[in-house]
Structure 1
Amino acid sequence: MTLLYQNPILPGFYPDPSICRVGDDYYLITSTFEYFPGIPIFHSKDLVNWQQIGHVLDRASQLNLDGTPGSKGIYAPTIRYHNGTYYVITTFVVSKTGARRNFFVTASNPAGPWSEPYWLENAQGIDPSLFFDEDGRAYYTGNRVPPSGQMYPKHMEIWMQELDLEKKQLVGPTYSLWEGALKNAHAQEAPHLYKIKGFYYLIIAEGGTGFTHSVTIARSKSLTGPYEGCKMNPVLTHRHLGRNHDITSIGHADIVETQHGEWWMVCLGSRPYGGEYRNLGRETFLVPFVWEEGWPVVNPGKGVVEPRMPFPNLRVNEIPTVLTRDHFNAEVLDMQWNTIRTPRKDFWSLTERESHLRLKLKPERIMDEVNPSFVGRRQQHKNFSACLAMEFTPRSVREVGGLVLLQNNDFQFRMEMTLSRDGNSIVRLVERNGGLECTLVEMPIREAKLYFKVEAKGQDYSFFYGENEDEWKALYLNTDGRILSSDVAGGFVGAYIGMYASSNGIVSDNYADFDWFEYKELNES
């Protein structure tokens, strides 16, 4: 019986994957935009089972996201290994209209620590990559507006310049490499250079990150070109499969050869459900390819990424099961947890109350582009349950604590404990849609310790609460979850679920204590 693996290999908001192999070990990283820590790094022995070993950008000195708008921040990193050193290069998008600044960091151990950023001057574009040639020289590739100007909207070219590894700056002449395979396609980006059997291969993304996304390739005998496009371009896309296909938006690829000579491609894609809605964001998929007459043929005979595919010719290396319930017993937060933007003022603690996560109420609100008192994780399944135990005594109508389902600051659900205007404790569900808020329901409660739960079955999200874990009361059933998709909210990120506390604009020394948080997939039935 053929052993199969399940796509995506990293479910949930893990876009723009980049991969490298060092001996028998594989390392993979993805984008994180406005979330902190930045750039999760994963390790695998078999390309299918991945275990997170750290974050590349885990210190405030490396990543200052203060004031960074939603879906800006860290874009499309690339990981490479050369002479005992790991390199990660990425783009920091400062604002909606501001600079795109590129930098790289290094480490001798992929689990970290990683260096402080080396900011590159005059490094245009987004989605940069590094290429190390056989002579040891390093080169930067990125995208930019062609020197002759744009012929149509979002018309870009791929360019290259040498990187001096000692000076840690770009040096020498710049080279225009390729304007892509599809002259009416837009957003030529995400370049990766490789040298394979005497050819330099350039793989890029074209068509944007949505439904028309694609992977194209060109090659040259010379590093600086000219590059010849493959006549089979795009070598991978799903746009011809229609908008109702199970997997859409396939593109943004990186490739790796196994120690046994197999070739594999990681790429991003989305799994829309309930229509063309992608609450899970852009995820990481894996697909094999072979070389025919010097060009890649992806998933021969089918040409697409499938939900289930034959396992690589590598020994299966299962990783420890991630616990569904976090009891907050560790000295540091588990790697699944993130904050929005760089955390300031030590708003959370694992030590002030044993086996609890304490969130201190900050004036900042999750409805604004700030660093609120929020600790969350990715939604990774279409059908899921998330629940928590919280102890909180609000002191005013402004103080809130509870569970948040978040797409961005303008699109979210908040299940909050707070006070009513007459001073009684209540639990309420707030829907924020396009920046407009509506309290869907509120109920009186008596206890300071509450249990909150959300269950999603497709795009139907139901909310429950209880004064003990075994007796759930329905708060609001079957509300439409589509506002948690980027197709409604805009941007590039997937939905998050987490714990939140705020004093809504006033200074407070109050806090909410979370005993545990549980997330698990639900069966479709």
Structure 2
Amino acid sequence: MKIKLFLTLIFVLLLTISKAQDENGMYTNPILFADYSDPDVIRVKDDYYMVASSFTAFPGIPILHSKDLVNWKIINHVYQKLPFSWYNKPKHGKGAWAPSIRYHKGMFYVYVCSPDEGLFMARTADPARPWELFHVADIAQWEDPCPFWDEDGNAYLAHSKLAGGLAVIHKMSTEGTKLLDNGVIVYQNKVENPTLEGLKLMKRNGYYYIFAPAGGVSTGWQTVLRSKNIYGPYESKKVLDQGDTDINGPHQGGFVDTQTGEWWFIHFQDRDAFGRIAHLQPGKWLTNDWPVIGMDDDGDGCGSPVKTFKKPNVGKTYPVTKPQTSDDFNSAKLGLQWQWQANSNPSWYSLSAKPGSIRLFAANSPTELGNLWYAGNLLLQKVSAPEQTFTTKLFFNPSDESEMAGITVFGQYYTFLCLRQIKSQLRLSLVESGFKADGFVPKELFGVAIKQNQVWLKGHIYADQTCSYSYSLNGKDFTEIPQRLKITKGRWVGAKIGIACVNPNLAPVKMGFADFDFFEVEDK
């Protein structure tokens, strides 16, 4: 099966051109049909680096690399864990919100806030290698920070506040590890720019610019503030909105130049269960020193999103690249596409117990009889296309009553196709559950007794935000389960796909395990 998976991946790579990149030098939005929420991007020489929110998925804050702003690959994460014990269990919606990335004097910096723990900074000389993490300020209700080093050597930090719709600027130590004052509110206008957030600070031609989304996630627009003084007063201008396109809420991202002098803006679009997917828009500076993003057909200085456009001129042409998805588990480390739902625990898995497979141990998660919403040991990745299938081969070795292992399409509502041990018998079950204020004990939607520990499981994602499942006892002949089920987003994140092995008992007798031989993802 490993050989078959390898050949399939090579076949797809050779014969399929990414929807984000056409053969005639054009690209088509979205460049990433995946939940890379709140993106920020920089260029260092000929390399582009992007970060995005990760909330409480671990490792946290993905680092993506590109040579042309269209084709991206995950190269690292900023941190493996957050240094707080409460993140050892899921804290949906908390964690890393809207990071920014900057390069200064040979060092890469990422700044991020969490809603409860405050401001963090991470730095490294090489973004593909480990980052050093600092807890800069222990204060709640801050969000979306961005550092800035001025020409005179002074350093500053801009950020917004939850529900405040305001921009705050602090003086900062030049090494970026301390804030030197209480900060100054430099802008707030809840009528003109409600829900102002996602600040990105830069300087050009003597003006300080703050790029800031406003108007809300699904319906907002991109605002730019500018002033000759970093502390204001700032004037504002809307530079990108939906216009008459079908790209809703185009805003919150990074404005970056190419080696050839072009300007580009990467932002997200909220696609509900699919999350906040990434788009690329052309930009330019007008003679009046205001930027405009997208196509400004009427010349009013506010553009609208493009669907298809000429690729950025970076001096060369680069091959199609996509963030990692499929995994044969042959590496000694987890693939960078995978994230847990809490601080990772080495007791959850092994890549060496059965070489060529990942072994997930049946970690204890008794809340609501094994409701996966409360389980940290889910191994998940982003849905990465509007239509796709994912397949795995599972060998289940249960050691306790009601242990379960399988595949899931996971959100605030989730479905889980799994093997379960019920009264010492194996049962293939399709289960639904998730988060409800009054509780949601897992409910079986489909079930059949089986007499073997090895099965092949397949999930199907559809563009109408539904999913279905099928299974096989021999790896060739799949039986469809005749139910189309809804897909929902999580808390601030899109739906995810992946694998899990859980023991729902309050006092487990033993810990069983499940071996997953591969995880194959195919876009339709």
Question: Could you say which TM-score interval applies, normalised by the shorter chain?
Answer: 0.7 to 0.9
Residue 472 (structure 1) aligned to one of 466, 470, 478: 478
* Alignment check: 8 A CA contact 1:120 1:168 kept: no
Once the two structures are overlaid, the 10-residue window that deviates more, 304-313 or 188-197, is: 304-313
For residues 60 and 175 of structure 1, the distance between their equivalents in structure 2, rounded to whole angstroms, comes to 29
Q: Taking structure 1 as reference, are residues 4 and 401 closer, same or farther at Cα in structure 2, changes over 3 Å only? A: same
Change (3 A) 1:457 1:128: same
How far has the Cα of 1:304 moved from its partner?
Answer: 2.1
Written as runs of structure 1 = structure 2, the 5 A alignment for 1:57-456 is 57-59=79-81, 61=83, 65-93=87-115, 99-120=116-137, 125-144=142-161, 154-166=163-175, 168-172=177-181, 174-180=183-189, 183=191, 185-210=193-218, 212-230=219-237, 233=238, 235-238=239-242, 241=244, 246-271=246-271, 278-292=272-286, 293-302=288-297, 303-314=303-314, 315-318=316-319, 325-364=326-365, 367=371, 370-408=374-412, 411-421=413-423, 423-432=424-433, 434=436, 435-436=439-440, 437-456=442-461
> Equivalent residue for 1:462?
468
SS at match of 1:65: helix
Cα distance change of structure 1 residues 129 and 336 upon mapping to structure 2, 3 Å threshold = same
TM-score (norm 2): 0.87
Question: Following the alignment from structure 1 to structure 2, what is the Cα–Cα distance between the partners of residues 254 and 443?
Answer: 50
Asked if the contact 1:51/1:319 (under 8 Å) is kept, the reply is no
| Structure 1 residues 190 and 161: alpha-carbon distance in aligned structure 2, compared to 1, 3 A threshold | same
Shift of 1:166: 4.4
Q: CA deviation at 1:306?
A: 2.7
1:423-450 deviation line (CA, Å, top 9, x unaligned): 3211010112545343111012121110
Q: Distance in 2 between matches of 1:319 and 1:109?
A: 24
Provide structure 2 residue ranges, at least 5 long, that are not aligned to the other structure.
1-22, 298-302
Give 5+ residue unaligned stretches, structure 1: 94-98, 146-153, 272-277
Q: Is the 8 A contact 1:217 1:229 kept in 2?
A: yes
Distance in 2 (CA, whole Å) between partners of 1:297 and 1:374 is 42
Offset, 1:305: 2.0
CA drift of 1:370 comes to 4.4
Q: 1:14 to 1:64 in 2, by over 3 A?
A: farther
Check whether the contact 2:88–2:376 (CA below 8 A) recurs between aligned residues.
no
CA distance in 2, matches of 1:172, 1:347: 43
What is the identity, as a one-letter code, of the residue corresponding to 1:438?
K
Asked if the contact 2:503/2:511 (under 8 Å) is kept, the reply is no
- Whether the 8 Å CA contact 1:124–1:142 is kept in 2: the answer is no
Displacement after TM superposition at 1:122 (Å): 5.7
Residue 173 to residue 419, structure 1, CA distance change in 2 (3 Å): closer
Residue 29 of structure 1: aligned partner: 51
What is the CA–CA distance in structure 1 between the aligned matches of 2:152 and 2:379, rounded to whole Å?
46
C-alpha offsets along residues 366-392 of structure 1, whole Å, 9 cap, x if unaligned? 626645332111111121101100001
Distance 1:124 1:82, change over 3 A: farther
CA gap of 1:327–1:253, structure 2 versus 1, over 3 A, is closer
Q: Distance in 2 between matches of 1:320 and 1:63?
A: 37
Q: Please report how far the alpha carbon of residue 513 of structure 1 lies from its aligned counterpart in structure 2 after TM superposition.
A: 0.5
- Scaled by the length of structure 1, the TM-score of the pair is 0.87
Aligned-pair RMSD on alpha carbons? 2.3
The residue identity in structure 2 corresponding to 1:198 is: G
CA distance in 2, matches of 1:360, 1:512: 6
| Closer, same or farther: CA 63–331 of 1 in aligned 2, 3 Å | farther
Q: Percent identity?
A: 29
Answer whether contact 1:359 1:513 (CA < 8 A) is retained: yes
**What is the CA–CA distance in structure 1 between the aligned matches of 2:295 and 2:30, rounded to whole Å?**
19
The count of corresponding residues between Structure 1 and Structure 2 is 485
Q: Is residue 66–residue 370 contact of structure 1 (8 Å, CA) maintained in 2?
A: no
